[in-house]
């Protein structure tokens, strides 16, 4: 959020209106001098081209306080280039904003207005926006891949739309319809095509975000909602690249508790894990495995992904009981594994079972399907099988093949954009 000088001036003008125009008694007592000053200031403002003289009430001002600014980034000039100017061989998971974002708003009536693309840039929010003060927000993550023939592929964006609706309902927010959501994601992929990495080099990570953008003071749902979709080209999520991860079982902090919002993609699930995550990273671990909040004996998930445990031909994963995110990669991998004849079990996975496993791997949109090399629990470090012959690698290569179009999609998971 950047409030530049011109925006502050806009607010100044509006404040002037509130005191000098909206108050009729004061209006009557305007001297010629103050009237002249008032007119001069507003003529100057409209000359600046950034402020419109708006005769509006305070409540209207409030309702408009979260209007996004369409500014900062100028319309890209090299739109016709097939690729953006980027080092495609060294993509990590940092933000490299693609040209366009998509914005759609919804007021109290629950109806979203027609969304539109605009150059990626900062947005303006009231300091009292619901999302900033009370965390009323959910987000999604999905990826677009480039095929050899130049077409773009999206993986199950309808599932993200449905998950956003479920999350929004939990956080008492209206949400876009599945069609609105998928259409926005398609528009973002297509408008930002030059930011989609060459085949095999990564993907365009697309981040749909729904937030209470209207102002509140007391704890209440926001009076206005904003749905934004932006995108960034990405490579591997972890600095380990495709190497196996080293996980640490966290016994002090928990990620989610029964009855909370751990099962949905609420923004409030992420900042609370940062402390434990940064402590683990400073000790050389890639991520944390959380235990259940009640007994601290059963596996939940990692900070950024779901977890699977392999023993023989059985693959187990913690059952989604309200504290575990219903990952789209998670359920896709479960289906692929069943198709391949593995026994797939969703259940409460005891931490001792993990210690005894042949393999452990993680799944998530950002993470993909990532092998776990070691898990450290109570000062004991356990090693797992990894490598080309691992179950993880076999499932990963099928999923990646379907997503990138090198394996035929018999499940209707992939949508193609020209």
User: Which residues are near ligand COI by CB under 6 A?
Assistant: 141, 304, 364-367
Nearer of residues 135 and 221 to ligand COI, judged by Cβ: 135
Nearer of residues 138 and 216 to ligand COI, judged by Cβ: 138
Nearer of residues 66 and 264 to ligand COI, judged by Cβ: 264
Nearer of residues 238 and 342 to ligand COI, judged by Cβ: 238
Quote the least distance from Cβ 66 to ligand COI, whole Å: 23
Quote the least distance from Cβ 249 to ligand COI, whole Å: 19
Active site residue 265: yes
Quote the least distance from Cβ 363 to ligand COI, whole Å: 9
Nearer of residues 135 and 223 to ligand COI, judged by Cβ: 135
In the complex, which residue's CB is closest to ligand COI? 141
Range 399-402 contact pairs with CB under 8 angstroms and sequence separation of 24 or more: 399/329, 399/332, 399/333, 399/336, 399/368, 399/369, 400/368, 400/369, 402/155
Question: Which residue in 105, 143, 186, 265 is the catalytic one?
Answer: 265
Quote the least distance from Cβ 270 to ligand COI, whole Å: 6
Quote the least distance from Cβ 236 to ligand COI, whole Å: 12
Catalytic residues: 265
């Amino acid at each position: 959020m950047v409030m530049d000088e011109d925006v502050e001036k806009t607010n100044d003008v509006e404040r002037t209106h509130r005191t000098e125009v909206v108050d009729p008694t004061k209006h009557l007592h305007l001297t010629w001098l103050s009237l002249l000053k008032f007119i001069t200031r507003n003529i100057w403002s409209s000359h600046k081209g950034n402020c419109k003289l708006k005769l509006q009430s305070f409540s209207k001002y409030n309702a408009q306080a979260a209007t996004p600014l369409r500014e900062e980034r100028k319309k890209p000039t090299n739109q016709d280039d097939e690729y953006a100017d980027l080092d495609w061989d060294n993509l990590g998971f940092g933000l490299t904003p693609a040209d366009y974002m998509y914005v759609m708003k919804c007021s109290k009536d629950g109806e979203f207005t027609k969304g539109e693309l605009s150059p990626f840039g900062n947005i303006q929010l009231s300091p009292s926006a619901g999302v900033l003060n009370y965390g009323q927000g959910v987000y999604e993550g999905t990826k677009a891949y480039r095929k050899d023939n130049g077409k773009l592929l999206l993986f199950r964006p309808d599932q993200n739309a449905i998950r956003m609706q479920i999350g929004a309902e939990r956080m008492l927010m209206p949400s876009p319809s599945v069609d609105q959501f998928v259409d926005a994601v398609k528009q973002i992929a297509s408008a930002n095509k030059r930011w989609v990495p060459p085949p095999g080099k990564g993907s365009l990570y697309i981040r749909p975000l729904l937030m209470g953008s209207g102002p509140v003071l007391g704890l209440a749902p926001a009076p206005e909602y904003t749905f934004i979709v932006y995108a960034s080209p990405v490579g591997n999520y972890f600095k380990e690249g495709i190497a196996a991860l080293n996980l640490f079982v966290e016994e002090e902090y928990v990620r989610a508790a029964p009855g909370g919002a751990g099962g949905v993609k609420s923004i409030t699930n992420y900042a609370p894990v940062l402390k434990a995550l940064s402590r683990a990273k400073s000790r050389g671990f890639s991520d944390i495995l959380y235990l259940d909040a009640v007994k601290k004996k059963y596996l939940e998930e990692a900070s950024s992904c779901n977890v699977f445990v392999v023993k023989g031909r059985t693959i187990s994963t913690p059952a989604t009981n309200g504290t575990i995110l219903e990952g789209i990669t998670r359920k896709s991998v479960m289906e692929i594994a069943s198709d391949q004849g593995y026994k797939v079990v969703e259940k409460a996975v005891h931490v001792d079972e993990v210690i005894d496993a042949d393999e452990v791997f993680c799944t998530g949109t950002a993470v993909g399907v990532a092998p776990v090399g070691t898990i450290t629990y109570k000062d004991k470090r356990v090693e797992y099988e990894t490598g080309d012959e691992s179950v993880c690698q076999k499932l990963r290569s099928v999923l990646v093949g379907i997503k990138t179009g090198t394996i035929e999609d018999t499940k209707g998971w992939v949508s193609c954009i020209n």
